[in-house]
Structure 1
Amino acid sequence: MKKMIAGVFGAGRIGKFHVENLLQYDNVEVKTICDVQLDHLIEWNKDKNIFLTKNEDDIFDDKEINAIFIFSSTDQHISQLIKATQNVDYIFMEKPISKSIDATLEAWEIVKSKSKTIQLGFNRRFDPNFKKVKEARVKETIGVPHVLKITSRDPEPPGIDYVKVSGGIFMDMAIHDFDMSRYIVGSDVEEVFVMGDALVNPKIKEAGDIDTAIIQLKFANNALGVIDISREAVYGYDQRLELFGSKGAIIADNKVETSTKLLTKDCSCVDNPLHFFIERYIDAYKNEYETFIEAFMNNDNVICSFEDGLKAELIAEACKKSYETKTVVKVRGI
């Protein structure tokens, strides 16, 4: 039976989470992990016996490794990706591709010249609820798409040190929503208009970013969209979506701990949304891995490619320019 022998770059919080999930599959062996720091992995690795190294070539020079996962810091993504395309045919990489659209475009020219399969980690595409919304559009259950509404609010803002190196709210946070917009509507975004400010923490603005924004989208198929994003929703991780069309609408609501509702003379109460993104998207992550593994086993394509990641970054670029100039901005094509 064909088996995926994986090399992994990056084993911080999200990297370890991914590896622990990959180890659940009988047809996947995580052979080597490369990270700039290894001390935090020693105890964690005792029952896994994965080879740990700081040397990237321990993965690139290993002829047994036939798939590479890149969970490292964003500034390492492109260099590791380019080297990976010289060694294996299947590569999984977390988003974003980079923090520089010019660097991503340069990498795109290299990637296009190689027949490699690259899946980007836009896990929300694989969420069962959002997938059903997409299917309603594909099956024309709601008719022709007219308006997409996305609410995307984190439970708490990041620290200022993170904000300074994050690449900005559009590239760091809203990048998921830009990919979702294209995926759900089935069309590229042509124009954007953004209003925003630092309403949660003024220090975020001092660091050169914002924490709250309203993003208007115009799609190539003439549909319209609006995304509201915030770095802090005090009640939990708020992830909602609605697609309205000529024959109806479909809504994906928040996931909660239980479906119970408390009814008294004083209140009608339901559970708050799940607080952490891993809890909210646990099923999406599982589906994401399985899709990539299945593509590998069948020598097939993936449904979330490098090109999708590039297009999301181009939307982020346009949004940043729109916020700075207070004008409608066209999204660059590729």
Structure 2
Amino acid sequence: MAKVVKVALVGLGRAGEFHRQSMLELPHSVHLTWVVDIDVQKAQRVAAEVGCRWSTSLDEVLEAVDAVIIASTTDTHFAYIMKALTAGKAVLAEKPISHELHEVAEAVNLAKSKNLAFVCGYQRRFDTHFRELKRQLDANAVGSLKLIKTCSRDNPVPPLEYLRTSGGIFHDMLIHDFDMLDFLSGGQEPEAITATGHCYHPEIKKMGDVDTAAVLLKYPSGLIAMVDTSRDASYGYDQRIEAFGERGMLTAKNALVSNVELATAEGHLMPPAMYSFPQRYIQAYRSELTEFIELVQAGPQSQSHVAEQQAMLRHPRVVKATIAAEMSWKRGETVKVAQVESMLQCNGSPSKKTRHT
């Protein structure tokens, strides 16, 4: 029988709660041993509910666990990731690893040098519909890819306190789409990115961010990708993909609360879209955690571990595309991805600069 993996959960907000609930589905595989949060009362309350220990410091718990799940605020991810990896622990971290390209590379290199399981939580890769689309692409169902279109519209607008530390729409939302494009294209890196956006929400505008954006990506193979995103879709959560190839098209439609359609003399009545991402991706979060725990249990000699060591190499590539898109929006011009690192050396990270809306 595979060993039970002892886990510390860092961060007890929305994402932390998703992971905690997912762990309840794996009682014979996971033991939530510690919870960590800077909010003492929250940490105490959750620990009492779970029946585990609590702390405000990750340092205190590392010796007692096999793995660390990081679901804290985005601006703290990198520091927690590095602490856990340095201590030799497997890590599942919510995205982003960091907004800084050199820090992303540093984390990946540390995980590889220590031969540790390191998974970044791009949960869409674990969604059954998107995985089926990917399977058919790999089976050459539509031939050579020509176009990929993704739609990513949120509901409701996230809390302002969350948005203030989220890193902005490019690092918080669009990075998911860039990871999905990397997934579907077989790891192709775009050569040029053009982005534009606008802000309709006055409080988000004060943050120097946009709430609606569109991005065009051009690849050396000829592939073109398009992404549209919004913080606020009044009709519910909206996630769609089209993959157009030389022999046809694959489409992953938006998930609705059911697939039952009412047809009467007055017309057709469709069920509503999912309310938000917790409802839409409940299965994906559970699959993500399950596969992470199986990865830890399998050990560093397993095929799954070797595959994940290779897969983690995409993280700098995805973040570089994210930075290029943000630069394009900020500058109002197309950005060559190959020039991103030199541009960062000259100008610093765009996420730390004032943006134009």
Same fold (TM over 0.5): yes
Q: Structure 1: which 5+ residue stretches go unaligned?
A: none
* Residue of structure 2 in register with 1:38 after alignment: 40
Match runs of 1:187-198 below 5 Å: 187-198=188-199
Deviations 1:81-115 (Å, cap 9, x if unpaired)? 11211223421111001233343344445444332
Provide, for residues 259-285 of structure 1, a one-character-per-residue CA deviation record: whole Å limited to 9, x for no partner.
222234443220121011011011111
**Pick from 50, 53, 56: which aligns with 1:51?**
53
Paired position in structure 1 for 2:8: 7
- Aligned-residue CA RMSD (Å): 2.1
> Map of 1:233-248 to 2, 5 A cutoff?
233-248=233-248
User: Structure 2: 5+ residue runs without aligned partners?
Assistant: 342-357
The structure-2 alpha-carbon separation of the partners of 1:11 and 1:202, relative to structure 1 and needing over 3 Å to count, comes to closer
Question: Does the 8 Å CA contact 2:190/2:217 hold for their aligned counterparts?
Answer: yes
Match of 2:178 in 1: 178
Whole-angstrom distance in 2 between the partners of 1:111 and 1:77: 15
Which residue number in structure 1 is paired with residue 324 of structure 2? 318
What is the aligned partner in structure 1 of residue 157 from structure 2?
157
2:196 counterpart SS class = strand
Q: State whether structure 2 residue 331 is matched by structure 1 residue 330.
A: no
Cα shift readout 1:49-102 (whole Å, capped 9, x = no counterpart): 11111132222233xx21111112222222221121122342111100123334
Superposed, 1:54-93 pairs within 5 Å as 54-62=56-64, 65-93=65-93
User: Which amino acid is the alignment partner of residue 13 of structure 2?
Assistant: G
Alpha-carbon separation, structure 1, partners of 2:53 and 2:149: 45
Name the TM-score, length of structure 2 as normaliser. 0.86
Structure 1 residues 160 and 289 mapped into 2: Cα distance closer, same or farther (>3 Å)? Answer: closer
What residue is the counterpart of 1:251 in the other structure?
Answer: 251
Native 8 Å contact 1:160 1:207 kept in 2? no
Partner of 1:292: 292
Corresponding pairs, count:
331
- What does 1:7-26 align with in structure 2 at a 5 Å threshold? 7-25=8-26, 26=28
Bigger Cα displacement from structure 2, 314-323 vs 43-52: 43-52
Letter in 1 for 2:31: E
TM-score, normalising length: structure 1: 0.92
Task: Give the letter aligned to residue 325 of structure 2.
Answer: C
**Structure 1 residue 151 displacement after superposition:** 0.6
Return 85-94 or 243-252, whichever deviates more: 85-94
Change (3 A) 1:165 1:80: closer
Residue 230 of structure 2: aligned partner: 230
1:204 shift after superposition: 2.1
Q: Quote the offset at 1:292 in angstroms.
A: 1.1
Once the two structures are TM-superposed, the CA of residue 29 in structure 1 deviates from its matched residue by 1.0
Q: Which range moves more in the overlay, 271-280 or 304-313?
A: 304-313
Distance, in Å, in 2 between the alignment partners of 1:257 and 1:104 is 36
Between 72-81 and 222-231, the greater mean CA deviation after superposition:
72-81
Q: Distance in 2 between matches of 1:215 and 1:309?
A: 19
Q: Distance in 2 between matches of 1:205 and 1:76?
A: 24
Following TM superposition, by how much is the alpha carbon of 1:161 offset from its aligned partner in structure 2, in angstroms?
4.0
Q: Contact 2:214–2:226 (CA<8 Å) still a contact in 1?
A: yes
